[in-house]
């Protein structure tokens, strides 16, 4: 069933960017030597570009992605905004870079049109996935299920194609590994849906599937470390970007609270523990 044959409410819709913008804006800039230095859930609270060790350049790239999310700019705009600056700064082409902590030297592909497109794509898409998750939590009472959907064209990977039409409760563990992008250039989406919506899709001939059991494979990094990666998902993408954002913000709030004077901190903790007023209490 092509997009044009789907029920009107099922068409891909624009997500208001506020949740996505808030998610990305809160990220802390973190220089990294290689892509695996910041792993999975850490991306929810840290913005990094592998091989970008200068904090000023990282802040510039972060600001451009933030503007792209807020104003709806595309990847071409992002490339045009940054190319000259990165060339002038020497962050372009293939060069040797040195790990400031270990002194290790490696050859790395720095700036290029394709690299900028990838940086834009991963960060903007994951920001929108995080925003969608926040929205899904707010509507969980009426849309308690999540639907996995691909773009249903020749570019869809076979592993992702097999997930098209999977439906499971929003709180199902399946979404701990399969929510958000499942690899570089992944265009899959996961949408909250009601029981009635599922029945409408089934009646329209859309194949509805149960969530498969998540299996893992061993992946060996260039450094020789072996890690477990969900089958069908690229290394580094096997996590729920929305949940990671929530836990990251909670940890950030705890850190901020710990810095407050003791009297203020204890007063805030008392308010947190105080039960809300019921109708009989004048609430």
| Contacts of 250 by beta carbon, 8 Å cutoff, 6+ apart | none
Q: What are phi and psi of 168, to 5 degrees?
A: -155, 155
Q: What is the pLDDT along the chain (283 residues), one digit of tens a residue?
A: 334 444 444 443 444 568 888 889 888 899 999 888 888 888 888 999 999 999 999 999 999 999 999 998 999 999 999 999 999 999 999 999 999 888 999 999 999 999 999 999 999 999 999 999 999 999 999 999 999 999 999 999 999 999 999 999 999 999 999 999 999 999 999 999 999 999 999 999 999 999 999 999 999 987 788 989 999 999 999 999 999 876 544 444 444 445 445 554 455 455 455 444 443 333 2
Contact (CB, 8 A) for 171 and 143: no
Distance CA 221, CA 203 (A): 46
Distance CA 230, CA 168 (A): 18
Which one, of 126, 95, 131, lies nearest residue 110 by Cα?
95
Contact (CB, 8 A) for 167 and 192: no
Q: What are phi and psi of 149, to 5 degrees?
A: -140, 135
Q: What is the DSSP string of the chain?
A: --GGGS-GGGS--PPPTHHHHHHHHTPEE--BSSGGGS-GGGGGTEE--BT---HHHHHHHHHHHHHHHHHT--HHHHHHHHHHHHHHHT--SEEEEE-TTT--EEEEE---HHHHHHHHHHHHHHHHHHHHHHHHHHTTTT--EEEEE---STTS-HHHHTTTTEEEETTSTHHHHHSS--STT---EEEEE-HHHHHHHHHTTPPPEEPPPP-EEEEE-TTS-EEEEETTS-TT--S-HHHHHHHHHHHHHHHHHHTS-HHHHHHHHHHHHSPPP-GGGT-
| Contacts of 175 by beta carbon, 8 Å cutoff, 6+ apart | 146, 168, 190, 240
Neighbouring C-beta atoms of residue 200, cutoff 10 Å: 16
- Sketch the domain layout of the chain as residue ranges: 3-243
């Amino acid at each position: 069933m092509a997009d044009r044959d789907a029920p009107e409410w099922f068409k891909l819709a624009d997500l208001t960017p506020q949740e996505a913008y808030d998610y990305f804006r809160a990220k802390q800039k973190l220089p990294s030597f290689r892509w695996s230095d910041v792993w999975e859930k850490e991306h929810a609270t840290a913005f990094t570009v592998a091989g970008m060790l200068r904090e000023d350049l990282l802040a510039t790239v972060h600001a451009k992605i933030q503007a792209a999310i807020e104003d709806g700019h595309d990847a071409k705009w992002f490339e045009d905004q940054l190319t000259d600056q990165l060339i002038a700064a020497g962050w372009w082409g293939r060069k040797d870079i040195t790990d400031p902590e270990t002194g290790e030297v490696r050859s790395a592909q720095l700036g290029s049109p394709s690299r900028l497109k990838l940086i834009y794509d991963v960060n903007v898409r994951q920001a929108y996935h995080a925003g969608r998750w926040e929205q899904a939590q707010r509507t969980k009472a009426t849309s308690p299920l999540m639907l996995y959907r691909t773009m249903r064209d020749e570019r869809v990977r076979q592993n992702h194609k097999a997930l098209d039409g999977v439906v499971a409760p929003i709180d199902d563990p399946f979404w701990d590994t399969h929510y958000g992008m499942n690899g570089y250039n992944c265009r899959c989406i996961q949408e909250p849906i009601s029981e009635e919506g599922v029945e409408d899709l089934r009646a329209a001939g859309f194949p509805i599937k149960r969530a498969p059991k998540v299996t893992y494979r061993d992946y060996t990094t260039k450094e020789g470390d072996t890690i477990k990666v969900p089958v069908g998902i690229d290394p580094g993408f096997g996590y729920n970007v929305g949940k990671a954002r929530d836990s990251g913000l909670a940890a950030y709030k705890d850190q901020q609270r710990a810095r407050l004077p003791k009297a203020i901190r204890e007063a805030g903790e008392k308010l947190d523990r105080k039960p809300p007023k019921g109708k009989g209490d004048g609430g």
